[in-house]
Amino acid sequence: MAALVDLGMRRETIARRVRAGVWLRPFPGVIIMQSGAPTREQLILAALLYAGDGAVLTGAEAVRRQGLRRLPEIPELHVLVEEDRHRRCLPTLVVERTARPPATVERDGTVVATLDRAVLDTARRLTDRDQIRALLADAVQQRRSTPDRLRDELDAGNQRGSALVREVLGEIADGIRSASEGWGRDLHARSGLPPMLWNPRLYFPGGRFLASPDGYLPCVGMAWENDSLEFHPVEEDDTARRRADMIAAGVIVAHHRPRRLRTEPERVIEELRAHYRLAASRPTPDLVVVPA
């Protein structure tokens, strides 16, 4: 609005056009000179103008612009401003003051926080463990970050909302790579079975690669596959072939659809125990196991 006033337009005229719906005022002091619904790009520019010089886009929009897709729909925008700047949050805009201005990159003409910072700024505002799992695992699976880098960024930044994120980072560091594998980890913790390796790589003694199951009990040679095409986007034939190769190598393979981990947890646990007893009754396959 100040720019329009500097150009000679009266404040009363601006206010009248906003009241009449001829122009839009998405945020205090920011005018969009049109009556139709603003585009996402217009709202982002308006948010940055409202936040002031040096404001940086972060959160889900910044994550999305850097290529990650496994995150919930978050309509509000999130911007970072310097610690001494006072801008209030609004229903569609989160304004966060920070003593650690982020490193930035430009995406689609907008300056955004680098991926590690944007991912954690998003995760800290989530309360659903599965959504946090999916987001962090996506960054690691795409080799866009590592658990250590994310943990270092989390330690250095705002600690509000960090407790659950820190727990999930521990899971990711242990090899969990999707929400469904997180469900599996939770069930395994209740099963009483020996420690399981998550996403290890199995090799024959000569060095030839065999498979990388979702979970593996090296003490008895038992693999656990979640069979999720959503989180492991490979052809169904490849999944069946991997399972057949492991069975041929002497590995006992338990497999479940992710849906059953949520709807039939007790039955899945009993099936895992049954597979474990079967594996324990047979010779352990001679394989080299490399943890994730």
Domain boundaries, the chain: 1-37, 39-173, 179-290
Average pLDDT over residues 118-134: 94
Rounded to whole angstroms, how far apart are CA atoms 231 and 258? Answer: 10
Rounded to whole angstroms, how far apart are CA atoms 163 and 153? Answer: 14
In this structure, whether the domain defined by 179-290 belongs to CATH 1.10.10 is answered with no
Distance of CA 274 to the CA centre of its chain: 33
Question: Model confidence over 223-235: pLDDT tens digits?
Answer: 999 876 544 444 5
**Per-residue model confidence (pLDDT) at position 8:** 59
CB 100 within 8 A of CB 117: no
Which of 4-8, 78-82, 222-226 bottoms out in mean pLDDT, i.e. has the lowest? 4-8
How does the average pLDDT of the chain come out, rounded?
Answer: 89
CB 19 within 8 A of CB 85: no
